[in-house]
Structure 1
Amino acid sequence: MHTVALATAGHLLHFELGIAYEIFGNPPVGVDEWYDVRLCGDGPTQVGPFAVNPSHTLDHLSAADTVLVPALADPDQPPPPELVDAVRSAHSSGARIASLCTGAFVLGAAGLLDGRRATTHWAHTADLQAAYPEADVDPDVLYTDNGTVLTAAGKAAAVDLCLHLVHLDHGATIANTVARRLVVPPHRTGGQAQFVSTPVQVSGDHSLTELLAWAQERLDQPLTVTDLARHANTSPRHLGRQFRSITGQTPLQWLLTQRVRRAQQLLESTDDGIEKVAAATGLGTATTLRRHFQRVVGVPPNAYRRSFRSA
């Protein structure tokens, strides 16, 4: 029987641990060979508001086929060293290692993300990249699969990755059966970019504060880099350096991102047609809006509206 070890130490979030146990601890009707799930830790672990007593020690991770590392409650704190060592040893022993949400920081500390594509909750992807620069952190995807090392984005993406593992082990039919039991799609369209909360409002006190606010009030107009530079009373070249330093983007990239974010707001809060949204955001035509929206958000505008308009 395939052994799945849930690695626990320190303070964890309860959702990711719970969903992993729900999926791997409950076989579908008619499936005889499922998973042997073991909760592994070297002492009581705080899981949300609850204290959990593991049934096995962290040494048992090395004997598992798959090791799941649930989300750390505070990724700003170094992960427990005993957990990091146990995960590293398990990978060396041939285990498949998967992190859920901020559990990716444990994999990073263990050196398992070096040279590999990885993700975590979008609010922590920049921190993960800064902490482990040898990793290739992708902030847009729901999960990554490097064969023996897998990572999931935040919260519900843990469901996506767990279903992906079931698909790998048991095939699409069984994975779909599990998804139906959970009342979730077996595979979601797009990535976590569609869930990123990027406010249109400008915050911070820097040399571009006034210019960015001015531009955001005129997103429906055909602004150019020259227009921005003229308003800032500087040269386009100098403005480009300022933008890259402060926003990490070129002026045109920043403008396009703001137009798409404004389109998201309109799709969520109005019933305006795609052509009207395109005009209101300065993207011109519905075709242009669809092209840029799909690239930035990961799903078409109509699909985004269906997901978020009622919410």
Structure 2
Amino acid sequence: MHVVGILLGTGRRAFDVAVAREVFSDRTDREVPRADLRLLGAQAVIDLDEANSMRSTHSLRSASEVDLLVVPGSEEPLAVPSPSEVAAVANAAAAGATVASLCTGAFTLGHAGLLKGRTATTHWRYTGDLASQFPDTDVRPRDLYCGDGNV
């Protein structure tokens, strides 16, 4: 079974988390193999924002056990993510997981060192900021998505 983790954290966009949960939820009725979906957080309950809380199913330490880690965007993408979230992303990649970000989640990948020498994109409003913060990344402002190796 494919293990998919979604990174939860204060300030993560509830929309991005919901989209990832929907994409990787049970699709066995359509003959798609079921994924073991894990919500990774530093605490049992994560306040994404003032209106949305979510219960984690696994700790951030278990990020190294996933096949795919999805990093949702942040409400404040220019804020430095927590060290525990950055470590979880780096540990997942080091363990061989594919790491994917949605929208401004690319900044967390950058802080984890995963964008160095790679192609990346983010929300059009923040592509200049991504390029400035991570000058060793080939930021593609016109791309909706891109992939480079396991990122």
Q: Distance in 2 between matches of 1:117 and 1:84?
A: 19
Q: Counterpart amino acid of 1:136?
A: D
For 1:196-207, what aligned pairs fall within 5 Å after superposition?
A: none
| Residue of structure 1 in register with 2:132 after alignment | 130
The CA distance in 2 between the partners of 1:30 and 1:69, in whole Å, is 26
- CA change 1:101–1:32 in 2 (3 A) is closer
Task: Give, in angstroms, the shift of residue 28 of structure 1.
Answer: 4.8
Shift of 1:30: 4.0
Q: Which runs of 4+ in 1 moved over 3 A?
A: none
Higher strand proportion (structure 1 or 2): 2
Q: Which runs of 5+ in 1 are unaligned?
A: 150-311
Q: What does residue 120 of structure 1 align with?
A: 122
Find out whether 1:39 has 2:43 as its counterpart: no
Calculate the TM-score normalised by the size of structure 2: 0.94
Name the aligned partner's letter for residue 57 of structure 1.
S
| Deviation per residue, 1:111-165 (Å, 9 max, x gap) | 100000000000011001101111110010110111300xxxxxxxxxxxxxxxx
1:10 CA displacement? 2.2
Residue 80 of structure 1 deviates from its aligned partner by 1.0
> Which secondary structure state, in structure 1, belongs to the residue aligned with residue 78 of structure 2?
coil
Structure (1 or 2) with the larger CA radius of gyration: 1
Cα distance in 2, alignment partners of residues 73 and 106 from structure 1: 12
**Secondary structure of the corresponding residue to residue 110 of structure 2:** helix
Shift of 1:17: 0.7
CA–CA separation in structure 2 for the residues paired with 1:133 and 1:106: 15
Instruction: Tell me the CA shift for residue 34 of structure 1.
Output: 2.1
Which among 64, 76, 79 is matched to residue 77 of structure 1? Answer: 79
Q: Distance in 2 between matches of 1:26 and 1:20?
A: 12
Q: Indicate the SS of the match to 2:58.
A: coil
Distance in 1 separating the partners of 2:86 and 2:8: 11
**Structure with larger RCO (C-alpha < 8 A, sep 6+):** 2
Cα deviation per residue 1:163-191 (whole Å; 9 max; x = unaligned)?
xxxxxxxxxxxxxxxxxxxxxxxxxxxxx
- Give, in angstroms, the shift of residue 100 of structure 1: 0.4
Give the C-alpha shift of residue 32 in structure 1.
Answer: 5.8
Equivalent position of 2:144 in the other structure:
142
Determine helix, strand or coil for the equivalent of 1:98. Answer: strand
TM-superposition CA deviations, 1:21-66 (whole Å, max 9, x none): 0010131524262211100011132224211121100011100000
Q: What are the equivalent positions in structure 2 for 1:86-105 lying under 5 Å apart?
A: 86-105=88-107
SS in 2 for 1:115: coil
* 1:24/1:35 contact within 8 Å kept: yes
The match for 1:59 is 61
Following the alignment from structure 1 to structure 2, what is the Cα–Cα distance between the partners of residues 135 and 117?
A: 6
TM-score between the two structures when normalised by the length of structure 1 = 0.47
Count residues with an aligned counterpart.
149
Partners of 1:12 and 1:45 within 8 A in 2: no
In the alignment, is residue 29 of structure 1 matched against residue 29 of structure 2? yes
Secondary structure in 2 aligned to 1:143? coil
Bigger helix share: 1
User: 102-111 vs 19-28, which deviates more?
Assistant: 19-28
Q: Which residue of 1 aligns with 2:10?
A: 10
Cα distance per residue 1:197-221 (max 9 Å; x no partner) = xxxxxxxxxxxxxxxxxxxxxxxxx
**Gaps in structure 2 of 5+ consecutive residues:** none
Once the two structures are superposed, the pairs formed by residues 112-261 of structure 1 within 5 Å of their partners are: 112-149=114-151
